[in-house]
């Protein structure tokens, strides 16, 4: 797929009628359809890991660069939570259960400089996505390792993915390997390829330009769990 054309292709696809039960309407952003599936969408192949060599690097606007092993990450306080999640390709999955480490708990081990206002999440397969640091300070932002009571599958981001439930799901990067704290914002992978810089689903912040129509339901024809 030509990723530089994906936003334009989704904009121009025929409009599809969203399907949401009336009692759930207040939880589902405009233009979304609820599903029990967990569609699998990503660019590139699923990476394989030697967990004895896996690390998470913390760098940028911090007092000292740090590198965490998986064991060190897993030694942090663990939480379970239930969230609704929303994909820009117009599916929403409600009441999903996650387990992981709160981003704010990781911050207690990091000397973040006061001038740090933004974060770039770096992930394998040359993926990155940008977020305001303020958004990552919410109580429900996780470095997640488990879903629905089981370890994440490779296709869903094992061994560690970000979970940012209040933004479109491309911001919840799979296979994260680095967290860069920044003074100024810069766009990530999809943000450079026509998608919105912030990505609030309730404001339908899907694309960086004019939204010319509903995307196709390509997720429905993808692999899923």
90 - beta bridge partners? none
Residue closest to 56 by CA, chosen among 71, 68, 73: 68
Whole-number pLDDT of residue 212: 40
**The whole model's pTM is what?**
0.87
Q: How many domains does the chain have?
A: 1
- Whether 124 is covered by a domain: the verdict is yes
Whole-number pLDDT of residue 24: 82
Domain span holding position 152: 3-40+50-221
Whole-number pLDDT of residue 19: 65
Whole-number pLDDT of residue 1: 44
Q: Is the pLDDT of residue 108 over 60?
A: yes
pLDDT in tens, 86-103: 999 899 999 999 999 999
Q: Is the pLDDT of residue 9 over 70?
A: no
CATH number at residue 214: 3.90.420.10
pLDDT in tens, 126-176: 999 999 999 999 999 999 999 999 999 999 999 999 999 999 999 999 999
What are the start-end ranges of the H helices in the chain?
A: 6-12, 70-74, 103-107, 133-136
Distance CA 28, CA 93 (A): 9
Kindly state the average pLDDT of the residues 45-49.
Answer: 93
| pLDDT, the chain, mean | 88
- Whether 45 is covered by a domain: the verdict is no
Residues near 33 by Cβ (< 8 Å), separated by ≥ 6?
A: 16, 18, 19, 20, 90, 91, 92, 217
pLDDT in tens, 54-90: 999 999 999 999 999 999 999 999 999 999 999 998 9
- Whether 168 is covered by a domain: the verdict is yes
Kindly state the average pLDDT of the residues 212-221.
Answer: 47
Distance CA 30, CA 16 (A): 12
Contact 214, 16 (CB under 8 A): yes
């Amino acid at each position: 797929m030509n990723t530089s054309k994906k936003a334009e292709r989704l904009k121009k696809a025929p409009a599809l009628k969203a399907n949401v039960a009336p009692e759930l309407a207040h939880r589902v952003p405009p233009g979304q359809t609820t599903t029990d599936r967990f569609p699998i969408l990503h660019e590139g192949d699923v990476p394989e890991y030697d967990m004895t060599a896996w690390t998470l690097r913390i760098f940028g606007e911090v007092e000292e660069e740090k590198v965490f092993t998986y064991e060190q990450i897993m030694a942090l306080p663990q939480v379970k939570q239930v969230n609704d999640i929303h994909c820009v390709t117009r599916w929403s999955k409600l009441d999903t259960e996650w387990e992981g480490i709160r981003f704010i708990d990781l911050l207690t081990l990091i000397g973040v400089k006061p001038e740090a206002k933004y974060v770039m999440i770096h992930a394998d397969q040359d993926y990155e996505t940008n977020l305001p640091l303020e958004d990552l300070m919410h109580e429900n932002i996780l470095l997640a390792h488990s879903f629905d009571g089981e370890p994440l599958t490779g296709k869903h981001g094992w061994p560690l993915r970000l979970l940012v439930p209040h933004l479109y799901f491309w911001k919840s990067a799979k296979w994260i390997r680095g967290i860069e704290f920044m003074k100024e914002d810069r766009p990530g992978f999809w943000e450079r390829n026509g998608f919105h810089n912030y990505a609030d689903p309730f404001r339908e912040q899907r694309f960086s330009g004019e939204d010319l129509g509903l995307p196709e339901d390509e997720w429905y024809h993808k692999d899923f769990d």
